[in-house]
Structure 1
Amino acid sequence: MANRQLLIVAHAPSHNTMTLRDAVARGARHDDIEAVDVTVKAPLDAGPEDVFACDAIILGTTENLGYMSGALKDFFDRSYYPCLEETQGLPFAFYIRAGRDGTGTHRAIESITTGLRWRMIHEPVLCRGDYQDAFEDQCEELGMYVAASLDAGLL
């Protein structure tokens, strides 16, 4: 049987956000997870073909002016209509690196993914306020949860 495919699309413009993206990927690639291939792409490098090829997706973004990053919005702009009918029910999760509260970003992602009819499989990870090392643990756990769920055939 072919490995399941996990796509991580994350905007990582700083050292801290790259660390969070890498933590998600590290969790998804945990040694105990055997039958999941993980692909990590920046939003400007990902498109509908990547979404079609995956079995689940994790989105990552910064909070920019109370909204998702322009790069993740661009990914959705290019992918929404091609994916609309083809990816209904796609399991997804997301994390936000928010300097403030992340509620606008959270609301925007939920609005778009509701329109796509994707299925949220994990509560959003909101990394709020000043950077904390605990954010890395939360992101690693997110990646591990989604990949382990794929590996176990739960998704």
Structure 2
Amino acid sequence: MATLLIVHHTPSPATAEMFDAVLRGATDPEITGVDVVRRAALAATASDVLGADGLILGTPANIGYMSGALKHFFDQVYYPILDDTKGRPYGLFVHGNLGTEGAVKAVESIADGLEWKRVAAPVVVMGTPDKAALEACWELGATVAATLMD
């Protein structure tokens, strides 16, 4: 069975709502053969990443950058996973109240350095997530999970 790892930092109601929608998409009953594992960014380890076949990353945009928690995650796992996770599919969701471009760019730069493969456009939401935003989050979860199906 394939494993999808969702690494998230969801301190606000908006990011938590987005995470819930991503999780619902990833665990849709029509997606089979994929085990979904959730880890808070401050708890996720290199072993978690090495055991995953794909990833979804979620973060608020803090002062135009990814959260410190997600940055800490990358700082802890980067070198231990560098050679063993090339080509892994990934997706990203970001919430912000101001600029989000820096957060997206930073995560994509690190993912590029790891040679991960983005399989869906990032879902970026400014302000309160509306129905369309939550549907896009659901779609993100379902798309990344579906890439891992046998």
Whole-Å Cα distance in 2 between the matches of residues 132 and 62 of structure 1?
16
Whole-Å Cα distance in 1 between the matches of residues 129 and 145 of structure 2?
25
Which residue of the partner structure matches residue 78 of structure 2?
A: 80
User: Which sits farther off after the overlay, 53-62 or 16-25?
Assistant: 16-25
Which residue of the partner structure matches residue 119 of structure 2?
A: 121
What is the letter of the counterpart of residue 116 of structure 2? W
- 8 Å Cα contact 1:101-1:129 kept in structure 2: no
| Equivalent in 5, 10, 16 of residue 14 of structure 2 | 16
Whole-Å Cα distance in 1 between the matches of residues 107 and 142 of structure 2?
21
| Equivalent in 109, 122, 146 of residue 111 of structure 1 | 109
Q: TM-score, normalised by structure 2?
A: 0.95
- 8 Å Cα contact 2:3-2:52 kept in structure 1: yes
Cα RMSD for the two superposed structures: 1.1
| Equivalent in 93, 101, 113 of residue 95 of structure 1 | 93
Whole-Å Cα distance in 2 between the matches of residues 65 and 139 of structure 1?
22
| Equivalent in 133, 140, 143 of residue 142 of structure 1 | 140
Q: Runs of 5+ in structure 1 lacking a partner?
A: none
Q: TM-score, normalised by structure 1?
A: 0.92
Q: Runs of 5+ in structure 2 lacking a partner?
A: none
| Equivalent in 49, 67, 70 of residue 69 of structure 1 | 67
- The count of corresponding residues between Structure 1 and Structure 2 is 150
What is the letter of the counterpart of residue 150 of structure 1? L
Identity %: 45
User: Which sits farther off after the overlay, 63-72 or 140-149?
Assistant: 140-149
Which residue of the partner structure matches residue 51 of structure 1?
A: 49
